[in-house]
A and B are shown apart, each in its own frame.
Chain A
Amino acid sequence: MTRIKRSRWLVMAVAAAALVIAACGGSPTPGTTSKGTLTVGGFNFPESDILAQLYGQALAHAGYDVKYKLDLGTRAVVVPALKSGQIDLYPGYAASELEYLNKGKGEATPDAAATTDKLNTYLKDLSAQALTPSAAFDGNAYAVTKATAAKYSLTKLSDLAPVASQLVFGAGPECKTYKFCLPGLMSVYGLHFKNTLTLDTDGPATRAAFKNGTIQVGLVFSTDADLDQLGLVVLQDDMHMIAADNVVPVIRTAAATDPVKSLLNKVDAGLTTTDLFTMNGKVSLQHQDADAVAKEYLVAHNYFA
């Protein structure tokens, strides 16, 4: 009867083994003893990549073994990941983290320190904590095209109140329930748009929608560097709906040793809003890699000295 020759079985076995070995070949070499492993997570927009790299590279330089889990998604994915220990820290935005955890109660204020303290009362339940907030700020911002601004004489968000019903608004999936998005626009500014489209959170779909006129008002972030080039202008938050969305590291208490905390706070202390804007520009407009941009910043500010 037809039996597969032993030599053929051998060939198959070797081929299979070779494939498996090749696939598993990327195991890390155990180097010198590190101070521990930390996994840094991030949201799925470029600035989060940059901030995560800033924290991660600073920690790596100090001797920690750093892993990254970037572009994970929205808070709804990142926060549970922190809670379950799959990531140890992520770069948060104080007011937004607070309003996410308190389910939109409205406790965030423009005071970064107070907001962070309140945030910490909620983070305790997740066995995590927020460190010292940075001066660097990036919050929700609402943009219109220059043409729309000219047509309706818009410079601030309250200018939208009379014309909102003629305009279409676009944002991400979490906007309908997120305090500093649609609910805030409706309650603080009394805006009722003609229609609200679910696109993405300050991503390519929102930009595309602006470009082809599908939306006239859209959610962006205040440190986005490509707005001017796209012909977009941000409307001023004159009634101070947006609270203290200062950058702040959110870290699991188990990982928050004193050296780690002081290192992260040191990085944050030197960070400004302009820095965010500049780094965003390098990634969004010049397509530089987030890790290269972060490294450049750290070197320039002597963190690696």
Chain B
Amino acid sequence: MPARLFLQADQPWVDWGWLSTHVPYVWAAVEQHLELTVIAVVVGLALALVLGVLAHVWRPLRFPVLTLFGAFYTIPSIALFAILIPITGLSGTSAEIPLIGYNVLILVRNVMVGLDSVPTDVLDAADGMGYRRLARLMSVEIPLAMPAIFAGLRVAVVSTIGIVTITAVIGLGGLGQLILRGLIQDFRTPLVIATVLCIVIALFSDLLLAGVQRLVVPWARNA
């Protein structure tokens, strides 16, 4: 298996000179990337919470929710973005629909697991203290489900950051635009910078969420 070095074999993997003159360009890509990610995670979480709670309260909803979003999950993102072009155009919406859908699956599973894991004696005690259903849900069950929800949130965020790069095929992409440029122009620098930045941003977000989790659910430190 000979390793065939591609065209410009003497091209450095990172041209620091290029980077120093292109900080605004890279930063604009990072901004778009973050924007796409945050919307996907926030909306995904909101939907997952609603669906998860509903499915927790009303058992029969579980199977359809998990099956529907589970099926969606198996479809490769590049295909979904492409399929949506004639429907929602070359827009953020075409990017967000699949991203949100994937996040809903990841998060709704964790919401359900989290709510399921609340010990029954805790629920009994809450009932005994006079909590009504909704109050018990909001003040007892969801807080106790937080560790599981956070675990899911961390996976969702990291996962989304990676998939956002693929939205470059519909003209978006954030850092994916740099990867695409690297491919089309055989230019390694933007490609490497974008890949490294994705990793850094994902890891940083993961740590950030771990930190937020510590603040919000201090009683569950096992994450």
Q: Do the two chains touch directly in the complex (Cβ atoms below 8 Å apart)?
A: yes
B90 at interface (Cβ–Cβ under 8 A)?
yes
A11 at interface (Cβ–Cβ under 8 A)?
yes
Selecting from A18-26, A126-134, A173-181, the interface stretch reads A18-26
Does A204 lie within 8 Å of B6, measured CB to CB?
yes
Q: Which of B170, B183, B219 is close to A2, meaning CB atoms less than 8 Å apart?
A: B219
A136 at interface (Cβ–Cβ under 8 A)?
no
Q: Which of B31, B39, B144, B169 is close to A73, meaning CB atoms less than 8 Å apart?
A: B169
Q: What per-residue 1/0 map shows which CB atoms of B11-33 lie under 8 Å from chain A?
A: 00001001000100100000110
Selecting from B69-77, B104-112, B184-192, B195-203, the interface stretch reads B184-192
Does B86 lie within 8 Å of A80, measured CB to CB?
yes
Interface residues of A in 34-89 (CB under 8 A from B): 44-46, 69-73, 77, 80-81, 84, 86
Q: What residues of B have a CB within 8 angstroms of the CB of A86 in the complex?
A: 89-91
* Size band of the interface chain B makes with A: 35 or more
Q: What residues of B have a CB within 8 angstroms of the CB of A208 in the complex?
A: 4, 6-7
A289 at interface (Cβ–Cβ under 8 A)?
yes
A16 at interface (Cβ–Cβ under 8 A)?
yes
- Compute how far the CA of A121 lies from the CA of B178 in the bound complex, rounded to whole angstroms: 38
Interface residues of A in 201-242 (CB under 8 A from B): 203-204, 207-208, 211-212, 226, 230
Does B39 lie within 8 Å of A1, measured CB to CB?
no
B139 at interface (Cβ–Cβ under 8 A)?
yes
Q: What residues of A have a CB within 8 angstroms of the CB of B177 in the complex?
A: 71
Does A4 lie within 8 Å of B185, measured CB to CB?
no
A105 at interface (Cβ–Cβ under 8 A)?
no
Which chain A residue has the least Cβ–Cβ distance from B170? A72
- Compute how far the CA of A202 lies from the CA of B199 in the bound complex, rounded to whole angstroms: 30
26 contacts between A and B (CB under 8 A): A1-B140, A2-B143, A2-B144, A12-B212, A22-B34, A23-B34, A23-B35, A23-B37, A24-B35, A26-B35, A45-B184, A46-B184, A46-B185, A71-B171, A71-B177, A71-B180, A72-B170, A77-B90, A80-B85, A86-B89, A204-B7, A204-B183, A208-B4, A284-B185, A287-B18, A287-B189
Interface residues of B (CB under 8 A from A): 4, 6-7, 15, 18, 22, 25, 31-32, 34-35, 37-39, 42, 85-86, 89-91, 122, 125-126, 129, 131, 139-140, 143-144, 168-171, 177, 180-181, 183-187, 189, 212, 215-216, 219
